[in-house]
Amino acid sequence: MRGLGKLILTNIKLSLREPITTFFTIAFAPMLVIIFGAMYGNDPSPYFGGRGSMDVTIPAYIGLIVGSVGLLSVPINISVQRESGVLRRYQATPLRPLVYILADLLSNLIVTLLGIFSLLLVGWLIYHVQMEGSVFLVILAVFLGCLSMFSIGYLIASIAPSSRAGQVLGMVIFYPMMFLSGAGMPLEILPATIRSIARFLPLYYVVNLVKGFWFGEAFSEHLLDIVVLLGILLVGYGVSSRLFRWK
């Protein structure tokens, strides 16, 4: 357990030293809240069922943070560690590979939670955004969303031939999903065609699940979201476990 704890702490430090990771995880979503909040305010709107723009944006940005860590941080960090020989050195130590995998999962989860905390703090301090649903269900949605998006990140890292390729591939996948899934812009204001396309994007189900539980919707209303995310999780980890390379 001591080795696991030290490895988690080391991974967190290495992750936060990456400028892309730090910006997109900690600063990007709060920055968007400040910018768009200054532009649109948080007055109740019929577009959002009587809620304000920031009321519906904050839970969606939780999905944005989850997606950025899974699709950018995970593949970039692993690809860099592989290219620099860090993974090869880990393989030569007495610790089992499962320990490294668990440490990486937990460290990425902690970094994600740091980003979510900074987002919620900004939303609460400036716009007094409040959660309407169950804290437990929102946490469940965040954990499931993290595991499913991380699985895609590990898959990208497994097939990327270099750190640069991992970064480019992660960005090519992340940015379209950010704009089309409801994570970057509320789906309520997007055309029907875009909303239909969004249903084919994994990040859509993270955003939909988090928003649903945030606003107090029943567990039974989001069974499809849960099934899809579990499917992504199983396929992602299953394929990446076969393709993963230590060097």
pLDDT at 2: 61
Number of domains in the chain: 1
**Token pair 């899974």: residue:** 70
For the stretch 56-101, pLDDT in tens is: 899 999 999 999 999 988 888 888 777 777 777 766 666 666 777 7
**pTM of the predicted structure, to 2 decimals:** 0.89
Helices marked H in 92-222 — which ranges? 97-127, 135-159, 163-180, 192-198, 202-214
CB 235 within 8 A of CB 209: no
pLDDT at 18: 73
**Token pair 């437990």: residue:** 136
Q: How many CB atoms lie within 10 A of CB 194?
A: 15
Residue 236's domain spans which residues?
Answer: 2-243
For the stretch 130-139, pLDDT in tens is: 888 899 999 9
pLDDT at 208: 94
Q: Is the pLDDT of residue 187 over 90?
A: no
